[in-house]
């Protein structure tokens, strides 16, 4: 297994090759900092993922599943978590209890009560109540009891129960 500094250098090199600048990745402490490196990755995950600096295969190669799950990154399998902020990618399914922020990529699914969530690619978010959700690409959003605001872009799909406001292409659509 590579050291955190070797992994950091690989990420920085990949980012430079893609023309991306990620200042949060630069670590300046001399301990085993995998958890801090993972926090820095999470902080800018959507950009790193979109530019393919970070992929599911990359994360599997350089981090153990326990390290990833402990940091709030879920790649595959079914999980239940009480972490406040999570990233779900690959084919993972996560029941996020008390999660206030999630980002979903790939073919992942997140179920949560409320919070602020983003779905990309072919991922799905299912929320019970009082959420702000941003859906991109071909993502799917399902709201339960309502009281949610959903921003949909591209080919994103919203399945709304009631009391949900959808904002699509600058138009407000009320789902009662």
Q: How many CB atoms lie within 10 A of CB 92?
A: 26
Per the structure block, which two tokens stand in for 2?
Answer: 């590579």
User: Helical H runs in the chain?
Assistant: 4-18, 34-43, 45-50, 56-62, 65-71
Per the structure block, which two tokens stand in for 20?
Answer: 């991306």
> What are the pLDDT tens digits along the chain (176 aa)?
777 778 888 888 888 888 776 665 554 444 357 888 888 888 888 888 888 999 999 999 989 898 899 999 999 999 998 888 899 998 899 998 877 789 999 889 888 877 888 888 889 988 877 788 888 888 988 887 667 888 888 888 888 876 788 888 778 888 77
């Amino acid at each position: 297994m590579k050291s955190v500094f070797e992994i950091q250098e690989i990420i920085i090199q990949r980012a430079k090759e893609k023309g991306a600048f990620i200042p949060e990745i630069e670590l300046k402490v001399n301990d085993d900092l995998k958890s801090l490196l993972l926090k820095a990755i999470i902080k800018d995950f959507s950009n790193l993922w979109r530019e393919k600096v970070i992929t599911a295969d990359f994360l599997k190669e350089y981090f153990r599943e326990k390290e990833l799950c402990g940091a709030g990154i879920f790649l595959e399998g079914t999980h239940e978590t009480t972490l406040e902020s999570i990233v779900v990618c690959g084919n993972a399914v996560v029941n996020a209890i008390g999660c206030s922020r999630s980002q979903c990529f790939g073919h992942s699914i997140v179920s949560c009560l409320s919070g602020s969530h983003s779905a990309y690619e072919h991922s799905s978010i299912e929320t019970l109540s009082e959420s702000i959700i941003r859906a991109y690409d071909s993502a799917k959003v399902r709201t339960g009891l309502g009281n949610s605001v959903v921003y949909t872009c591209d080919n994103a799909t919203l399945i709304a129960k009631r009391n949900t406001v959808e904002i699509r292409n600058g138009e407000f659509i009320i789902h009662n």
